[in-house]
Structure 1
Amino acid sequence: MTSTHQRRPARIAREVVLWTGAVLGTLSIILVLLAVVFDVKPLVFRSGSMEPAIGTGALAVAREIPADRVEVDDVVSVIADDGTRITHRVVAIGEEDGEVSLTLQGDANSAPDAEAYPVTTVDRVLVDVPYTGYALSALGSPSGMFACGLLVATALFLGFGRRPDDTGAAAQVRTLVILAGLAGLMVPAARPGDTLAQFTDDATMTSGNVQAHTVSSQAQPTCTDVNGVLVLGNLARLTWPQADARYEYLWQLRRSDNDNLVASGVVGTGAAAGSTVTLDISTGLIGVNTNYDVVVRARLSNNTSWVASTATTTPVRRASVVIIGTAFRCGHT
Structure 2
Amino acid sequence: MTTPTTRRGLREQVGAVRAEDGSAVAVAPARTRVRMGRAIADVLLWLAAAAGAICMVLVVLAFTAQITLIMFRTGSMSPTIPAGSVAAVQRVPASEIEVGDVVTVDREGELPVTHRVTAVAPGAVPEERIITMRGDANASDDPFPYPVSSVRIVRFSVPGIATFIAGMGDPVVLGGLTVAATMLVVWAFWPRSRRHPPAGANGSSA
Same fold at TM > 0.5? yes
> What is the match of residue 282 of structure 1?
none
Q: CA deviation at 1:104?
A: 0.9
> What is the match of residue 204 of structure 2?
none
Q: Secondary structure at the match of 1:20?
A: helix
Q: CA deviation at 1:148?
A: 2.2
> What is the match of residue 68 of structure 2?
41
| Residue number among 39, 44, 55 corresponding to 1:28 in the alignment | 55
| Residue number among 136, 152, 158 corresponding to 1:123 in the alignment | 152
Any residues of structure 2 matched to 1:85-96 within 5 Å, and which?
85-96=112-123
| Distance in 2 (alpha carbons) for counterparts of 1:147 and 1:109 | 41
Any residues of structure 2 matched to 1:68-83 within 5 Å, and which?
68-83=95-110
TM-score by length of 2: 0.71
Any residues of structure 2 matched to 1:276-287 within 5 Å, and which?
none
> What is the match of residue 142 of structure 1?
171
Any residues of structure 2 matched to 1:97-112 within 5 Å, and which?
97-98=124-125, 99-112=128-141
Identity %: 31
Change (3 A) 1:160 1:107: same
> What is the match of residue 84 of structure 2?
57
Q: Which stretches in structure 1 are left out of the alignment for 5+ residues?
A: 166-333
Q: CA deviation at 1:13?
A: 3.3
Given residue 141 of structure 1, which amino acid in structure 2 is its aligned partner?
Answer: D
TM-score by length of 1: 0.45
| Residue number among 93, 103, 119 corresponding to 1:66 in the alignment | 93
Q: Secondary structure at the match of 2:176?
A: helix
Q: 1:21, 1:155 within 8 Å by CA — same for their partners in 2?
A: no
Higher strand share: 1
Any residues of structure 2 matched to 1:1-333 within 5 Å, and which?
3-98=30-125, 99-163=128-192
| Distance in 2 (alpha carbons) for counterparts of 1:67 and 1:140 | 31
Q: Secondary structure at the match of 1:111?
A: coil
Q: CA deviation at 1:30?
A: 2.2
**How far does the alpha carbon of each residue in 1:79-120 deviate from its partner, in whole angstroms, 9 at most, with x for none?**
124321101110111245444111111111111111111111
| Distance in 2 (alpha carbons) for counterparts of 1:66 and 1:91 | 17
| Distance in 1 (alpha carbons) for counterparts of 2:192 and 2:50 | 23
| Distance in 1 (alpha carbons) for counterparts of 2:193 and 2:142 | 65
> What is the match of residue 274 of structure 1?
none
| Distance in 2 (alpha carbons) for counterparts of 1:41 and 1:50 | 19
Higher helix share: 2
Q: 2:92, 2:152 within 8 Å by CA — same for their partners in 1?
A: yes
Change (3 A) 1:47 1:163: farther
Q: 1:17, 1:151 within 8 Å by CA — same for their partners in 2?
A: no
Q: CA deviation at 1:76?
A: 0.5
Q: Which stretches in structure 2 are left out of the alignment for 5+ residues?
A: 1-25, 195-206
Higher relative contact order (CA 8 A, sep 6+): 2
| Distance in 2 (alpha carbons) for counterparts of 1:57 and 1:122 | 22
Change (3 A) 1:163 1:75: farther
Q: CA deviation at 1:6?
A: 2.8
Given residue 59 of structure 1, which amino acid in structure 2 is its aligned partner?
Answer: V
| Distance in 1 (alpha carbons) for counterparts of 2:43 and 2:183 | 11
Q: 1:17, 1:154 within 8 Å by CA — same for their partners in 2?
A: no
Given residue 46 of structure 2, which amino acid in structure 1 is its aligned partner?
Answer: W
Cα RMSD for the two superposed structures: 2.2
* Greater gyration radius: 2
